[in-house]
Amino acid sequence: MTIYRYLYSPRGAGYRKYLHGPGKKKRATRKSHSRIHNQTMIDQRPEEAESRKVAGHLEGDTIQGQTRKEACVVTLADRATRYLIADLLPRCNAESVNRSVPQFADSGLPCKTVTVDNGMEFASHAKLQKKIATPIFFAEGRNPWQRGSNENTNGLLRQFFPKKTDFAAHSSAQLRWAVELLNNRPRKCLEYRTPKEMMDSFGFALVS
């Protein structure tokens, strides 16, 4: 981000021609107010979550389908192990998220905190927090790097379900197959261990 800020400053204008592509035109910055009320922001999240040494600190998001309101996938990725849990939602809204996420507890996935983005599908976070008995934190707007594990894992899942995928045409079994492959794929950031191996090392027996 520091490099791009320099490139789009007056001093760095002469270097923009060396970028790989033309890039998108930068919109004028304007102040906006979140439509989600009573958020607890990421700066109040326990320091333990930052260390990546303890399993159970999760990052969540949704992967959109053809449109933002149609069927989508909700994902939770563990910061320490990169272990992924995902579920198909018939509609990308708060009601569907609040119905789906509590079921993840049945997988045995440890859950100490959840950090999500500012999508309206998390607007009913207070109700969800009560259901899962876990504090929910929000990343700052337009700062996807604050949920880097989830963003990266969602990108890997996009290898199986590219953008504009009609998730209504896919089954839960197909999604589980893709998730299982990712959880058993060695990762460089894990010293070439798999997310499942990492989770096993913490002593959690997960149900796939």
- pLDDT for res 31: 45
Closest CA to 176 of 159, 200, 157, 195: 157
For residue 54, give the CATH number of its domain: 3.30.420.10
- pLDDT for res 81: 97
Helix locations, 66-147, DSSP H: 94-100, 125-132
| 131 is a domain residue | yes
| 6 is a domain residue | no
Which 3 state secondary structure label does DSSP give 119?
coil
The count of structural domains within the chain is 1
Which domain, by its residues, includes 164? 42-201
- Whether 25 shows a pLDDT value over 70: the answer reads no
For the chain, the average pLDDT equals 89
pLDDT tens, position by position, 85-139: 999 999 999 999 999 999 887 788 899 999 999 999 999 999 999 999 999 999 9
| 30 is a domain residue | no
Other beta carbons less than 10 A from residue 200's beta carbon: 15
The more confidently predicted of residues 29 and 51 is 51
- Whether 71 shows a pLDDT value over 50: the answer reads yes
| 87 is a domain residue | yes
Sheet holding 57-63, edge to edge: 84-89, 72-78, 57-63, 113-116, 136-138
| 28 is a domain residue | no
Which of the four pLDDT bands, split at 50, 70 and 90, describes residue 79? Answer: very high
Rg of the chain over Cα atoms, rounded to whole angstroms, equals 18
| 3 is a domain residue | no
Residue 183 burial class via C-beta count within 10 angstroms: exposed 0-12, middle 13-18, buried 19 and up:
buried
| 20 is a domain residue | no
Residue 95 burial class via C-beta count within 10 angstroms: exposed 0-12, middle 13-18, buried 19 and up:
middle
- pLDDT for res 29: 47
Q: Indicate the pTM of the whole model.
A: 0.82
The more confidently predicted of residues 65 and 185 is 185
Enter the tokens of residue 102. 């509590």
Q: How many residues are there in the chain? A: 208
| 88 is a domain residue | yes
What span, in angstroms and rounded, lies between the C-alpha atoms of 162 and 158?
Answer: 5
- Whether 188 shows a pLDDT value over 70: the answer reads yes
